[in-house]
Amino acid sequence: MEAMRPVPRTLLRDRAYEAIRDAIVAGEIEPGAVVRDAELAERLGLSRAPVREAFSRLVDEGLLESKPQSYTRVTPLVAADVRDAAAVVGAMHELVTRVAVPRLDAADVVAMRAANERFAAAVRAGDVEAALRADDELHDVLVRVSGNRAAAATAARYTPLIRRLERQRFGEGGSCRSAGLHERLIEACAAGDVDGAVLVTAEIWRGLEELAD
């Protein structure tokens, strides 16, 4: 049997980051809640070091705020922050859409249609998690095909700020993104209509800026 290799420290850091980020976005750790590295390390089965590194990254991304020697806590939901994040993420998606549409093949369009079907079904069922997951899958087709890793990384950094508000709004009975808008985007993509696809993408993300209001 091959010797087991140590788990790279970076993987532990990423594991801690993703777990804490997802808990904040889902509302399992509420805005204003104080978080402690020792407590979360125990819950995650990790040492405190990767949790501290995750905290630093989450502070940088706006999901945590920290006062040295005092506290680290979840940031409140601030409309201006969400609007700013939506504007940045929307710009990245417009960029990747413009690049990706001429490169899409039939399989990519089929994948987008399937994701939108899952999205619409989840919205009808009131399944917020499934709806947002399908929404990510649809837009990720364009991100992947564009091949723009900088745009993908920027969108990934700021999307959690938006998702946190979306989950709260949906939990309060608010409306979800329109499957009809997605359908218009897909039709433009299938037709190779770059400008049309970019316009619909802008409309989708402008709606999320307005959600913050």
Distances (CA, A) of 45 to 33, 41, 54, 202: 21, 6, 14, 42
pLDDT digits (tens, 9 = 90+) for 140-193: 999 999 999 999 999 999 999 998 888 877 665 555 567 889 999 999 999 999
In the block, residue with structure tokens 């369009």:
109
Helix (H) or strand (E) holding 78, with range, is: none
Mean pLDDT of the chain: 89
**Using CA atoms, how far apart are residues 177 and 7, in angstroms rounded to an integer?**
39
Q: Is the dihedral of CA 77, 209, 57, 130 positive or negative?
A: positive
In the block, residue with structure tokens 């993908």:
152
CB 201 within 8 A of CB 87: no
Average the pLDDT over each of 18-22, 124-128, 132-136, 174-178 and give the range with the smallest value.
174-178
pTM: 0.83
pLDDT digits (tens, 9 = 90+) for 54-76: 999 999 999 999 988 788 999 99
